[in-house]
């Protein structure tokens, strides 16, 4: 508004001076008011604020101009577009991290195939029982310490639906009655899992669809450390 008033005054001053001259000097013809109005009309049109911002210099800044509205809009758009890109990159990095953890687990587990079953066994030198095998793999492959028994590992994990089981998740069974968790293995893919089954056998791969294991399947759990890494993705 102040700028528009200045423009109006600037337009009126010449008009008033011109009017004074008309009064002081006789003319043979009458003053053409419509013609004067047509000349002054363009001077009285309001100028958009963006024009002032773009053309006037900042005092004391060496002639630097205000950024135009177009430039400001472009800067905001660029900043907004960069945020989703950063979030996408973080999500991709987290997804790659959990994938690497799962690969490391399965590689360690597969490297222990044919190690014989020993009740209470905790390392390859003496043999493994089911929970000892799982605990050893998680500890040496990704540095995660799991509880000692299959029942306590079941309680420590986060429940996973059958259709959502991922490589590296734990699968549990009730092999000694219907109410007690007594066996655990590490899920691979395609319904297969690797475990140390029982006396007289060695670490091997079995299927959840096998009649014996399907009948005794109690559920799947994801160790908390794995769940936290997955949630970051």
The phi and psi torsions of 126 (rounded to 5 degrees) equal -100, -20
The answer to whether 130 is a known catalytic residue is yes
- Collapse the DSSP code of 202 into the 3-class scheme (helix H, G, I; strand E, B; otherwise coil) and give the result: strand
Q: d(Cα 133, Cα 184) in Å, to the nearest integer?
A: 9
Question: How many Å apart are CA 92 and CA 73, to the nearest integer?
Answer: 29
Active site residue 140: no
> Which of 130, 140, 176, 179 is labelled catalytic?
130
Catalytic residue among 61, 140, 179, 195: 195
Q: In 10 A of CB 223, how many CB atoms?
A: 23
Buried b (16+ CB within 10 A) or exposed e, 158-191: eebeeeebebbbbbbbbbeeeeebbbbbbbbeeb
Q: Which two tokens stand for residue 146?
A: 């799991």
Is 176 annotated in the active site?
no
Among candidate residues 140, 176, 179, 183, the one labeled active-site is 183
SS3 for 96-140 is HHHHHHHHHHHHHHHCCCCCEECCCCEECCCEECHHHHHHHHHHH
Residues involved in catalysis: 130, 183, 195
């Amino acid at each position: 508004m102040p700028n528009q008033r200045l423009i109006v005054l600037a337009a009126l001053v010449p008009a008033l001076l011109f009017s004074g001259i008309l009064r002081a000097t006789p003319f043979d013809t009458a003053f053409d008011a419509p013609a004067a109005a047509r000349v002054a009309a363009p001077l009285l049109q309001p100028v958009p604020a963006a024009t002032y911002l773009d053309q006037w210099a900042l005092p004391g800044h060496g002639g630097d101009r205000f950024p135009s509205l177009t430039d400001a809009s472009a800067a905001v758009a660029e900043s907004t577009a960069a945020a989703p890109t950063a979030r996408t990159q973080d999500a991709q990095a987290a997804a790659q991290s959990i994938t690497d953890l799962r690969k490391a687990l399965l590689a360690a587990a597969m490297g222990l195939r044919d190690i014989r079953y020993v009740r209470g066994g905790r390392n390859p030198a003496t043999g493994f029982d089911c929970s000892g095998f799982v605990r050893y793999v998680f500890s040496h492959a990704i540095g995660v310490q799991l509880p000692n028994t299959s029942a306590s590992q079941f309680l420590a994990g986060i429940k996973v639906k059958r259709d959502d089981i991922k490589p590296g998740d734990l699968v549990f069974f009730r092999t000694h009655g219907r109410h007690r968790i007594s066996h655990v293995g590490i899920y691979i893919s395609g319904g297969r899992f690797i475990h140390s089954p029982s006396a007289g056998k060695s670490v091997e791969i079995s299927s959840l669809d096998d009649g014996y294991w399907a009948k005794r399947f109690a559920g799947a759990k994801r160790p908390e450390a794995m769940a936290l890494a997955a949630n970051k993705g």
